[in-house]
Each structure stands twice: as structure tokens, then as C-alpha cells.
Amino acid sequence: MQIILFYTFAALTLIGAIGVVASSNIVRAAVQLLVALLGVAGLYFLLGAEFLAAAQLVIYVGGTLVLIIFGVMLTARASLKLLQPTRTERALAILSTAILLASLITAIVTTRFAQIEPVAHNAYLVRSIGQALLGDYLLPFELASVLLLAVMIGAAYLAKKRAPISREATR
């Protein structure tokens, strides 16, 4: 069962990830990203992190991705010409990524990790996460909340509509 589920979710993730790279239409890329995010949420379930899977759905899919699609819609009038990279750029990008991927996989395959028998299902998962957040990780937790406040103010200020200054000049 676990093997079937792993390969299903891994396939979802990979289809989504490759789709994001391959699609030239930005809205379709967003949908492919959705597929990848759902696949990753499934993988979290397999790894016994159901709280994280739910957080992934509610924050990433319900929040970040909606923001991204929103952004795509609001900037839809922009011309999509000139947005393709040149052939040299693409070749260079693929080459460097391939080198990185090859070295990563070599490193992963050759390393021997000190593994233990995984804990199948933690019935007190949410409780442990809560205790960790308000215990060992209290400072990062508070910092994250301050950061979110700063981000909220900053984003609201930045996105405030102002008169366009140099649209004529750049045309």
C-alpha cells in the first residue's frame, strides 16, 4: 500500500514540477504548481506529518497559490511577447541544472544515512507540535509572527496604487 501511494504522490509531484518548467502559459503553470503542491501534501501524509499536510493545503494552496493566480490575473494585460528566454540562455540553464542534479543524486546515493525504524503513527502529533512551538521554538515562533506583521504592513504599502511614473519612457 505504502509503495503504491508513494509512487502515486511522487508522480503527481513530478508531473506538476515538470509542468511548471515546461508550460509557457503562466496560468497553466499555476495549475501545474497546484498539482505539485497536492502531491507534496500527499507525501507529508505518508511521512506521518498530517498536520503539515493540512497546513500545506490551507497556506500554500488556499493562500499562496490563490495570491499567485490573483497576481497573474491583475497583470494579464501585460504583453507576453519577449518573455521567452533565448536559446543560449535556455541551454546554459539546462546544462547547469543537469550538473547540479547529477551531483545531488550522486551525493544522495553514495551517502549512508543513520536511519532508525520510523514511528508509524503519532496519535499526539498536534499536541507535540504545539508544545514544540511554544517550548523549544518559542523565539522563532514569535519572530515569525513579528515578521508576518511587518510583511503585512509592507505589502499593503507597496501594493498601494500610485500614478505610474515612467510608463511612457519605457515604451
CB of 158 to another protein, least distance (A): 4
As a residue count, the chain comes to 171
Binding residues for another protein, total number by CB under 8 A: 117
Identify the residue among 8, 119, 134, 142 touching another protein (CB under 8 A). Answer: 119
Helix residue ranges per DSSP H, 47-124: 50-55, 66-74, 87-110
Q: Is there binding between residue 146 and another protein (CB under 8 A)?
A: no
Identify the residue among 8, 134, 142, 159 touching another protein (CB under 8 A). Answer: 159
Q: Which positions from 36 through 95 interact with another protein, judged by CB under 8 A? A: 36-38, 40, 43-75, 78-80, 82-85, 89-90, 92-94
Q: How far is C-alpha 163 from the geometric centre of its chain's CA atoms?
A: 33
Spatial neighbors of 24 by CB under 8 A, at least 6 apart, are 84
CB of 127 to another protein, least distance (A): 8
Q: How far apart are CA 19 and CA 9, in angstroms?
A: 15
Q: Is there binding between residue 96 and another protein (CB under 8 A)?
A: yes
Identify the residue among 25, 134, 138, 142 touching another protein (CB under 8 A). Answer: 25
- Is the CB of residue 36 less than 8 Å from the CB of residue 17? yes
CB of 24 to another protein, least distance (A): 9
- Is the CB of residue 56 less than 8 Å from the CB of residue 13? no
Helix residue ranges per DSSP H, 111-137: 125-134
- Is the CB of residue 44 less than 8 Å from the CB of residue 53? yes
Q: Is there binding between residue 148 and another protein (CB under 8 A)?
A: yes
CB of 48 to another protein, least distance (A): 6
Identify the residue among 115, 134, 139, 142 touching another protein (CB under 8 A). Answer: 115
Q: Is there binding between residue 134 and another protein (CB under 8 A)?
A: no
